[in-house]
Amino acid sequence: MQVLVVGAGVVGLAVARAAARAGHDVIVAEAAGAIGTGTSSRNSEVIHAGIYYPPGSVRAFHCVRGRRMLYAYAQAHGVPHRKCGKLLVATRDAERAKIETLCAQAKANGVEGMTMLSGAEATTLEPALNCVAAALSPETGIVDSHALMLALQGDLEDAGGVVAFRTPVTGLSPDRAGWEVRYGGAEPGTLTVDAVVNAAGLGAQRVAAATAGLPPVRVPRLVLAKGNYFQYAGRPVFSHLIYPTPVEGGLGTHVTLDLAGRMRFGPDVEWIDTESYDVDPARAEKFYASIRTYFPALPDGALAPDYCGIRPKLTGPGEPAADFLVEGPAEHGLPGLVNLFGIESPGLTSCLSLAEDVLARLG
């Protein structure tokens, strides 16, 4: 079977790899000139344990299963990663119940090793931390996302698959032979494939809307949530990731570490109408206030604008967070087509598990 995957982000590459290793003839159509230029390379590179997602949800299933698969894959393929652990902290007594609920939810999702700590126990682990209670997640880690995507691309190409860069998909039409694919770029044209996987991330709704025969009701709205990150100028003071109690629209301004040992804070949540990747230095003032609830010794002038990312959300401010939306022929009625919408966090963690799900939906 010839399979076209739209999008060379981490999920698209994982799907393409799985399909090629299953013996299919695979092409990845990527509108940009390199892999992972969108959401896949503009995130905190965290391997999530599976704490935040309702039991039984698609995100909970793929996060927990995908996390185990990702650690094994990174180990086997030499992808840099570290299981550094995370502290989810309550800085006020009013937040303690929320942390306890999330800890219980994580256990219900199958997350291993979750433990409630007192404030004193947490500050023994992290002396710079201020909190009244915390949940310790030893399974949380960090990964070099670009190295991961390069490994997935290498596996794909070793199995005979190819990536076509600067090849935006402009339309899809079902026909007797499968799917007619229209593409742009320097040499626009058409090709016919047996199956299509729409893993275009921020562009998934656009590709779906250009799919002939797909009912409009199967194309959800796209809501852009921009997250800004700020780099810490001093020496790192935490060895664990530090996450505050979640806030509306996200997980709060948290501490992430990279594999070089650098410490950064983010993301905040900024609801936007169009894609923009500028980080406004003025947003640092909001960062200082939120960070000092759990890191009171944060010095003035210690934050510098770093980078930002945009999540392809399906719900907006004040609305319940949407689940991952993965739809195949059973949902929309078109054979040989799978659409993935709203694959934001924990999409990186979930990529290998999602890939197996997509292949099963294609039959």
Is there a contact between 61 and 350 (Cβ–Cβ < 8 Å)? no
Helix H segments across the chain?
Answer: 10-21, 58-77, 93-108, 119-125, 145-158, 204-209, 284-291, 329-332, 347-362
Q: Judge if the upstream peptide bond of residue 346 is cis by omega within 30 degrees of 0.
A: yes
CATH topology of domain 2-47+146-220+322-362: FAD/NAD(P)-binding domain (3.50.50)
- The pTM (predicted TM-score) of the whole model is 0.96
Per-domain residue ranges of the chain: 2-47+146-220+322-362, 83-140+222-313
Provide the 3-class DSSP secondary structure of residue 292: coil
pLDDT for residue 2: 98
Separation of alpha carbons 189 and 315, rounded Å: 35
pLDDT for residue 94: 94
pLDDT for residue 261: 84
C-alpha torsion 315→319→323→329, nearest 10: -60
Is there a contact between 340 and 358 (Cβ–Cβ < 8 Å)? yes
Separation of alpha carbons 59 and 347, rounded Å: 8
Domain 83-140+222-313: assigned CATH number: 3.30.9.10
Tens of pLDDT along the chain (363 residues)?
999 999 999 999 999 999 999 999 999 999 999 999 999 989 999 999 999 999 999 999 999 999 999 999 999 999 999 999 999 999 999 999 999 999 999 999 999 999 999 999 999 999 999 999 999 999 999 999 999 999 999 999 999 999 999 999 999 999 988 999 999 999 999 999 999 999 999 999 999 999 999 999 999 999 999 999 999 998 999 999 999 998 765 677 899 999 988 999 988 888 999 999 999 898 888 889 899 999 999 999 999 999 999 999 999 998 998 999 999 999 999 999 999 999 999 999 999 999 999 999 998
Q: List, in sequence order, every residue forming a beta bridge with 29; answer none if it has no partner.
A: 6, 164
Separation of alpha carbons 310 and 228, rounded Å: 9
Backbone phi, psi, residue 264, to 5°: -135, 165
pLDDT for residue 250: 64
Q: Which residue has the tokens 């499968």?
A: 178
